[in-house]
Structures are given as C-alpha cells and as structure tokens.
Amino acid sequence: MAEINKSYEAGEVEKRWYAAWLEKNAFSARVELGRESYSIVIPPPNVTGVLTMGHVLNNTLQDILVRRARLEGKSALWIPGTDHAGIATQTVVERELRKEKKTRHDLGREKFLAKVWAWREEKGGIILEQLRRLGASCDWDRTQFTMDPAYSRAVLTVFVDLYRKGRIYRGKRMVNWCPGSLTALSDEEVDMRPVKGLLYRVRYELVDEPGAYIEVKTTRPETIPGDVAVAVHPDDPRYQAWVGRKVRRPLGPAADLPIIADAAVDREFGSGALKITPAHDRVDFEIGQRHGLVPVDVLNPDGTMNDFAGPVLAGLERFAARKKAAQLLKDSGALVAEEAYENNVGYSERAGVPIEPRLAWQWWLRYPRVDEAKAAVSEGHIRFFPERWTKVYLHWLDHIQDWCISRQLWWGHRIPVWYRAGLDREKLTEADLGDPEKVHVSIDGPRDKTGWVQEDDVLDTWASSWIWPLATLGWPDELAMARAGFEYFYPTTTLVTGPDIIFFWVARMIMAGLEFARPGEPLMNCIPFKNVYFTGIIRDAQGRKMSKSLGNSPDPLDLIAKYGADGLRFGIVSIAPQGQDIRFQEDRIESGKNFCNKLWNAARFRQMSGPMADNATLVAIYDRLRPQDFDGDDHAILDRLLATTRDLDRCFADFEFSAAVQAIYGFFWNDFCDWYVEVSKTKLQSPALRDNCLAIQDLVLRQTLLMLHPFIPFITEELWHLLGYGPAGQFIEDARLSNASQVTAVGTSHGLVLNTDAAAEVGRVKQTVSLLRALKAESGEAASKQSVLVVEAADRQWDAIESNLPMLKRMLGAAGITRGPLTPHAPAVVTAHGTWNLIPQQRGDPAAEKSRLARELEALAKHVAGTQARLANEAFVSKAPPAVLEGARKQLAELQAKHAEVSRLLAALG
RNA sequence: GGACGCUUAGCUCAGUUGGUUAGAGCACCUGCUUCACACGCAGGGGGUCACUGGUUCGAGUCCAGUAGCGUCCACCA
C-alpha cells in the first residue's frame, strides 16, 4: 500500500480514476434479472451548451443518485446525451455566417444544414466532456443526440401516429410570431414583461355624423390601418345608439368601420370602446371571428409594415412606424392625447424581442392523455419533490391549449408531410388534407417523390425531447428496445431537473410516456419516471439569475481547477436545500475542498497510527473488534456512526441532499476527528487497546467513505485503495454500502451491543473538557500549556475522572490532575465532574475571577428562576407529558446544585 | 388579478412530528507551527426567529391577517 501524501492533489487523482473507470466500463449498466434496476435519463443539454453552475448542481445530484444506487447493489443506468436545440443552434451558426456577411438563405437549406452538422461535429457536445471532469458516471456508450437517425425516426413515428389519430392538425390561427428569428413560438416560449410606453387616445369620426367621434385607447397606433371595426360592450348604455353605425379609419387606407357590440369589451377601460385589429391581437381576432370580419394584416414577417399599412408607413420597422403613426394622427387631429402607460408585452424568450400575434398556418397538437397525466401525479404514481410543484403542474394541465409544434427553421426534424407540387398551401381545405393524392403523411414520404414537395417547417425542439425517456431506450424499434433494456429500465426511477421546464418538458414527457410506452397497460407502467426532483435555481450573490450575458456565472472548470471536482460537488450540494433557490458563494466551495483535505488527513492519520489489517468487508473488521475492551468513547463513536448511517438513509428517501452532506460533515469532522481521533491518541499508546482502536477507526473510515462516495467520488476511490478497504482491481462501487440495520446486525452477530448510557456519559465528559478548556483560555493559559489541575469531586465523579485520566490529561493539556481541596483565589469552574481549580503559574487576577464567577452566577440564577416558574405553573404540571415534566425537574435540580457551588466559590473569594 | 415560495447571527442558510438556554458554514475577536490536517486546533462575541393577533401548560415550528422580496400563471386594449 502506498504511503498517503501530506496533501491531496485533486487534479492528478481525478484524471487517473476517471480513466480507470472508463477503461473498466464501470458505468455500463446491464440488464440483470433478479437485481433491482435504477435508471436516470439526463436532461439533455443543448448541443451548443457549455457547463454552467446549474448543470453542475443538476448533474452532481444525478451522479449522487446513480452512484448510491450502485453501492446499494442495483443495476444503475444513467443515459447521457444532447439536444439539437433548434433555434439556439441555428442562431449560433447563423451568427458565424454573418461574420462572412452571409445569411442562411445565401447558402440554401441543404448547404446550411451541412454547415450546422459540421459545426456540431467540431464543437458540439463540449459539455459532455466537461461532465466527465465533474465525475459524471454516465453510460457513455449510450450517448444519444436528438437528431441521431434512430432518434429522428422515433420523433417522426410519433408525428405520424398522432396525425393519424387526428391529434395533429394544420390550422391557420393566431400564433406568437418572433420577428427576430422569423418563426412561430409556443405559448411557453413567450415571456411577459412589463414595458413602459404610451397609451394613445384616438378619436374615430362617425361617417353619418361629421364632427361626432368615438374615442378609443391603444398602445399600438401603427396597427390602425389594420382596424376592421370598433367594438363596445352590448350593455353599455353610452353606446346603445351607436352600434351598427360606422366610423372612418383615422389612419391608412380609407375605410368605413362598423361599430359592433361584443361582451369581451371591458366597459371600464378608457371610453369603453375598443378598436378591432384581428390580424394583430388575439382578443381582436376572436371578436372578429364572431362577427365575420376579414382580418387585414399590415405587418411583414420581419416586423416591418407592409403595403396594407399605406404608403407612408409601408417599409418602416414597427416601432418607427408607431412614432410615425402617432405623428400622422396628431397632424390630422385624431390624436386626443398621449398618456404614459405600462403594460405587459410578450417577448420571445430566445431572441429577446417583442413577439407579434400573427395569423399563420401552423401545425398543432391536441395533447394526448391529459387526464391520465393529471392522475399519474395526483394519484402518486409520479412523485414530485418538493411536492408543491404538483399544483403548478396540475394547474397548467387544467388550462392546457393546443401546442404549436411547427417552427419556420431549418435545423430540426422536418415535418414528414408532402404536398402535391403546384398546390397552393395557403388555400388547402380540410378535404385536401384528407386526400392522399394531395397530401401525404408518412415517416419516409411517398415512394416516388417526384411531383411531391415536403413541408418546409421543422418540429419544435420540445416535440422531440418529450420522448427522451422512450427513445433513449430504443423505442419504437423492438430490437433496439431489447438491446437497450427497455423492459428492465423503463419507467426510469428519477428525473432531476429545474422547475423552469416543468411545462416545456416534464409535463409533456409524462403525456408522451402515457401515450406511447406500453399502450393498454396501467398508468404506473407507462409513466416515464417515478420521481421528479426539482432543483433550485442558482443565483449570484446579489440574487440575480446566472447568465452568460450578465457574466456573473463562474466557470465550473475554473472552480474544479481551484477546489477539485469533489470540492465543487461537495460545496454545491451543501448549499442546495430542497427546492430553494441558491445563492452561490464561492467560500462554500472552498469549504468543500477543506472537507476533502480533512478526510484525506484523517485517513493519513489512520495509516500512520498502525499497521493495516483485513478491511475487505464489514465482517472482517468486526472480527477485529474486542467489544469487552470498549470504553465509552468506542461506544459513542459507533453509536454516532449508526445514527449518521440512518440519517443518510432517510435523506436519500426524501431527496434531502444538503441535509445528507451536513450530517456526514458534522459526524466526521466533529465526532470523529475532533473527538474520537484525539482520544485515540492515548489509546494507541497502549498495546492492549491499540488494535481495537484501529479496528474502530477502520470501521468508521470505511463506512464513511462508502457514504461519501456518491458525493465525492474521486477522493473516496483513492483513499479506498490507499487504505486497502477493497480488493485490488475492484472499485469502491463494487463494494456494498450496508444500511444501519445491516451494520447493527453484523455487530450483534459479533456480540457487540452498543451501550448508549456510556455514549451519553461521553457527552458529559466532552462538556467538562470544554468548560476546562474555556477556563484555561479565559485565565490566559495557552491550550498547549501543561497546566496543573486540582479537582474537588465526589467519589463517583473522581472514579469517572480517574478511569479517563491519560485521555483527560491529553485533551486538557494538563501536566497533572489531582484530587484535593480547592485553592482560594485560583480560577475555578463547576462541572458535572466536580469543581475544578486551575493552579496558576503566576498570581492570577482575583478581581477578574470574581467578575467571571459573578456573571456565571447571574446567568444560572436567571435560568433557575425560569425553570422554577415553569414548574410552579399548575397547568404545566398537570398537562405536560411526564417525560417533559421529569426533564424539567431534573434540570432544575442540576441547576440549583451548580448555582450553590458557584455561590460557594464566590463567597470564598471574599 | 390568481397561485406558490421566502423573511432566523454581519453574510448565506439549516431547524423532521410544538417541549431544556435556537444551530451550521463563512466573516469577526483571543490564544496556539500540540508528533493527521494552519485547507488546521482550542476558546469567544454576536439573534425580541419580518410584524400583529389567535390556539396551547408551552410557538421559530400550528392558525388567521399585514408588510416586504421573489417566482410562476392570467387576452384588459
């Protein structure tokens, strides 16, 4: 066994072990009947993506789950991959083209796509390399891309199937049009932002009564040329007589617009009259439909005004047109006023520009299995952590709208629909769509494609990633499914993702799973995952979302270089409580690194303390324990080890990762290193006690490494081997992590029954040590100074001291501890183990000593009074449970005794 | 307009079913190169648990309301 170096070199160790894991295929998961399966699909990052702190958190958690599952003996699979990310990727490549002053149209569809693929080959998927640096134990041989041939086929299979079921249809409806990326978007891709602007009051003159006007308020005067009516509420008394009459359009091509009545109009807003522009507003469109009005579209797809806006506005960009329109209205006297106004405007999530409601032919999906998707979650087949997201999920499903799945992009899955050449696609009827001679829908297209033209649009990226858990396991190809282990691994166990994509992805995956996984089978067999863990969002120190544009996101690779992958992992998990957003603080990552260093040095201490023995199994270590030689500290540390093991089991059951990390941290650092290792130092001097003590250290270290391994895989693997805890040629994950009851069972079979009373006594000894150390510190004696201590103790107390004498001398830094009468004026402290004197080397400060004791007495008196008052309360005595009552009485007795003793000391000072 | 979350030490946050004097990390102060670790050890200071009421013998914890911050949903031009 190699000697453990003084400091832990993360970089070298991480590189070495990751290579070893890959070489031995440690992450490849096989179907092993009789063994429980555990599976996770990665939320596929964009192929353009680079690792962010969000990815670090998300993927660390997945890795923790998968590695823990392996240690529990499950066949654990983590499927990696990337998403083609339609708009994002196309934008990246178009940006490169722009440097050459070209657009995609200069290349044409085919050449442009070749360029995107070339880009993807060269630069795509960097993020998967970065995940390896983090230690992600994905089964890399199964890496998938949403545009892989097999995956694409699965996507098209779904389209054709849903089309044949009548769930996918083509329709001309209002869409969210992005003038930046020139495509339609789904409702989920639109962000509402409050925008400060102007509200224009415009008057429309009555045709049959010149000089009389109806006034409307609008934020968009440039759309007036697209007005086809003015609407009022049918019950509005002010306008009863106006309905049916006509007004002149105050801007753009001259026209007489009817005044109509519609209940959608809000009487309270402005004058109670609304201009109707069906081509550019959803509500207007609906009102227009109800009244048989023909929309007038005054905008081009790129957001400039077209000829229907009239010669003055035509060609202007929409916001320039707004200013111009206002000016024109002002000139003609139609503009009554401009008021400052703030309203909500929809923005394209990707392009960051205001979207335009626009009438366009698109492909739509009527979601399948909506009711089942609700039931799957509300009936608990799928559990959300934290649970509160179920409400958000159910609410969305309750108000679900058809999904616009077509995008006017080139990068993506091209919709598998072919039209007979020469057909005018703007004028296709229902009948045309149903006529196989005119429109063909299939995965591979018509056998002879001459005379057919394929649909230009591609599918929304989410319309491919919604089948991720299915297609990554080979669906729908039966051979591929058998090879991938679909039967064994589906449904997957847990999904780890952010709540921001609960609609985009989580809900849709559930519906897709229910529709396609195992038709006809019960819900629980069809769901894509059993648990969904929603992480928090990582924010910067100011609470802002981390983003590339703000430049407030640290580069995880820099952090890995600085603190090690393990340090980063430990740190990020420790600050990520369930479901709360996280404020990133680098010092927490640093403390992750410090923990690794502590672990490393504790292992080093073990190695330096004595020869290593058989540590290959829990049983082998227990064979070396000598329960008859156990002292209180031995009992206490194993008791705490068991409690921590139990805590961890619970944390994993409840997805409480940061609590898990904190539990091990506290146990290992405080209970083991600060106390047990320190008291070991005297035991190790004694030949009779040494071997038992080393065995206990091995037991604690081995179990701790196993518990920690999912969180910090590299250093634990390294120490596992350096300490010889597993056979050479095997990894730590080839060992099994025993849970608390298993550990207890092994102990019992070895005649070990933990004495919890002894463990509790250790708590009191720690308290006494702490008080005496404080006494030294306050008396100005260095902790390392070999002090002289005298204790006035009852026999029972002295017995406890005497039996721990060497240990106490070491822990207290005492040259001698003797029993005897107190020395007046020497610093003193009252403990559970008698009243102690620190014999000062030089004359102390009686005044300081006096005031110290007086302060303590005051605090005790207050506490005594409080407890007495509680016990004097009749209601408390009669209603509190006996255990609480007894605790209070015992406490009072102890406090009173201590109070009396401190009073005595004070009196002795005079 | 609706829903959800948050408010605890200087900072960032824990606090499971109500029960001794509310905890951690960092920061701060004091002492210490004690033979695993200065990425460390020992000790210390620091909080009216946002506010108001209620339930209870007992509330950081349960209930109602208020305020501030945040997130999501929603067609008021």
Residue A608 has pLDDT above 60, yes or no: yes
Residue A162 has pLDDT above 90, yes or no: yes
Nucleotide nearest the Cα atom of A580 (by C1'):
B5
**pLDDT, greater one: A721 or A880:** A721
What is the predicted pLDDT for the residue at A458? 95
Quick one: which residue's CA is nearest to B41's C1'? A674
Q: How far is CA A864 from the centre of its chain?
A: 47
**Å from the A888 CA to the B57 C1':** 13
Q: Tokens 């949403």, residue?
A: A146
**Å from the A158 CA to the B3 C1':** 34
List chain B nucleotides near protein: any atom < 7 Å from a Cβ.
Answer: 3-6, 11-15, 19-21, 24-27, 30-34, 36-37, 39-44, 56-58, 70, 72-77
A202-216, A407-421, A453-467, A870-884: which range is least confident on average? A870-884
What is the predicted pLDDT for the residue at A473? 97
Nucleotide nearest the Cα atom of A576 (by C1'):
B13
Token pair of A281, please? Answer: 């507003």
Q: Where are the alpha helices (DSSP H) in A337-408?
A: 370-378, 389-398
Q: Tokens 């952010």, residue?
A: A498
Mind listing the pLDDT tens digit for each residue in A407-441? 999 999 999 999 998 888 888 888 888 888 899 99
**Å from the A611 CA to the B34 C1':** 24
**Å from the A532 CA to the B17 C1':** 25
Best CA proximity match to A570, nearest among A676, A669, A696: A669
Burial class (CB in 10 A: 0-12, 13-18, 19+), A525: middle
What is the predicted pLDDT for the residue at A134? 95
Task: Look over chain A and give the mean of its residue pLDDT values, rounded to a whole number.
Answer: 90
What is the predicted pLDDT for the residue at A312? 87
What is the predicted pLDDT for the residue at A791? 92
Confidence of residue A731 (pLDDT cuts 50, 70, 90): very high
Percent of all residues in chain A with a pLDDT value above 70, rounded to a whole number: 99
Residue A451 has pLDDT above 60, yes or no: yes
Nucleotide nearest the Cα atom of A862 (by C1'):
B21
Nucleotide nearest the Cα atom of A778 (by C1'):
B43
Q: Distance between CA atoms of A725 and A831, rounded to whole angstroms?
A: 41
Residue A248 has pLDDT above 60, yes or no: yes
Q: Tokens 């002090």, residue?
A: A787
Confidence of residue A549 (pLDDT cuts 50, 70, 90): low
Nucleotide nearest the Cα atom of A567 (by C1'):
B39
A9-13, A32-36, A424-428, A790-794: which range is least confident on average? A424-428
Could you give the strand order of the β-sheet that contains A439-441, starting from the edge strand earlier in sequence? A439-441, A417-420, A452-454
Neighbouring C-alpha atoms within 13 Å toward the C-beta of A51: 22
Nucleotide nearest the Cα atom of A875 (by C1'):
B57
Work out the number of other CB atoms within 10 angstroms of the CB of residue A283. 18
Q: Distance between CA atoms of A295 and A276, rounded to whole angstroms?
A: 9
Confidence of residue A600 (pLDDT cuts 50, 70, 90): very high
Q: Distance between CA atoms of A339 and A197, rounded to whole angstroms?
A: 8
As a whole number, mean pLDDT of residues A766-770 equals 91
C-alpha distances out from residue A380 to A86, A195, A274, A502, A520, Å: 34, 41, 47, 17, 19
What is the predicted pLDDT for the residue at A842? 64
What is the predicted pLDDT for the residue at A680? 93
Q: Tokens 């004028």, residue?
A: A427
Residue A109 has pLDDT above 60, yes or no: yes
Confidence of residue A626 (pLDDT cuts 50, 70, 90): very high
Percent of all residues in chain A with a pLDDT value above 90, rounded to a whole number: 49
What is the predicted pLDDT for the residue at A81? 96
What is the predicted pLDDT for the residue at A251? 86
* Contact assessment for residue A788 and residue A840, using Cβ atoms and an 8 Å cutoff: no
**Å from the A269 CA to the B74 C1':** 18
Confidence of residue A79 (pLDDT cuts 50, 70, 90): very high
What is the predicted pLDDT for the residue at A424? 85
CA angle (A535, A541, A545) in 5-degree steps: 50
Q: Distance between CA atoms of A827 and A772, rounded to whole angstroms?
A: 10
Mind listing the pLDDT tens digit for each residue in A864-899? 888 888 888 888 888 888 888 888 888 888 888 888
Nucleotide nearest the Cα atom of A579 (by C1'):
B5
**Å from the A100 CA to the B64 C1':** 66
Quick one: which residue's CA is nearest to B36's C1'? A605
User: How does strand A439-441 pair with strand A417-420?
Assistant: antiparallel
Nucleotide nearest the Cα atom of A217 (by C1'):
B77
Quick one: which residue's CA is nearest to B31's C1'? A782
Phi, psi of A538 (to 5 degrees): -85, 125
Q: Distance between CA atoms of A404 and A692, rounded to whole angstroms?
A: 69
* Contact assessment for residue A898 and residue A834, using Cβ atoms and an 8 Å cutoff: no
**Å from the A430 CA to the B60 C1':** 64
Helix (H, G, I), strand (E, B) or coil at A513: helix
Nucleotide nearest the Cα atom of A231 (by C1'):
B77
Q: Distance between CA atoms of A207 and A45, rounded to whole angstroms?
A: 60
Q: Which stretches of A187-317 are assigned E, i.e. beta strand?
A: 190-205, 213-218, 229-232, 246-248, 256-261, 273-276
**Å from the A857 CA to the B61 C1':** 32
Q: Distance between CA atoms of A277 and A688, rounded to whole angstroms?
A: 94
C-alpha distances out from residue A434 to A156, A424, A428, A439, A473, Å: 19, 15, 10, 7, 34
**Å from the A172 CA to the B17 C1':** 57
As a whole number, mean pLDDT of residues A622-646 equals 91
The DSSP secondary-structure symbol of A629 reads G
Nucleotide nearest the Cα atom of A199 (by C1'):
B77
H/E stretch holding A454: strand A452-454
State the maximum Cα–Cα separation within chain A, in Å, rounded to a whole number: 117
As a whole number, mean pLDDT of residues A368-382 equals 94
What is the predicted pLDDT for the residue at A843? 63
Q: Distance between CA atoms of A905 and A897, rounded to whole angstroms?
A: 13
**Å from the A576 CA to the B47 C1':** 23
Quick one: which residue's CA is nearest to B21's C1'? A863
User: How does strand A37-41 pair with strand A75-79?
Assistant: parallel
**Å from the A399 CA to the B5 C1':** 22
As a whole number, mean pLDDT of residues A145-157 equals 96
Quick one: which residue's CA is nearest to B27's C1'? A587
**Å from the A656 CA to the B15 C1':** 14
Mind listing the pLDDT tens digit for each residue in A649-708? 989 998 999 899 999 999 999 999 999 999 999 999 888 899 999 999 999 999 999 999
**Å from the A878 CA to the B53 C1':** 27
AA identity, residue A214: I
**Å from the A480 CA to the B43 C1':** 65
Cis before A611 (ω within 30): no
Confidence of residue A138 (pLDDT cuts 50, 70, 90): very high
Query: What number of helices (H) and strands (E) belong to chain A?
Result: 33, 29
Nucleotide nearest the Cα atom of A596 (by C1'):
B39
As a whole number, mean pLDDT of residues A325-341 equals 87
Mind listing the pLDDT tens digit for each residue in A799-851? 999 988 999 999 998 888 999 898 878 888 989 899 998 887 666 677 778 88
Q: Distance between CA atoms of A52 and A272, rounded to whole angstroms?
A: 50
Quick one: which residue's CA is nearest to B25's C1'? A588
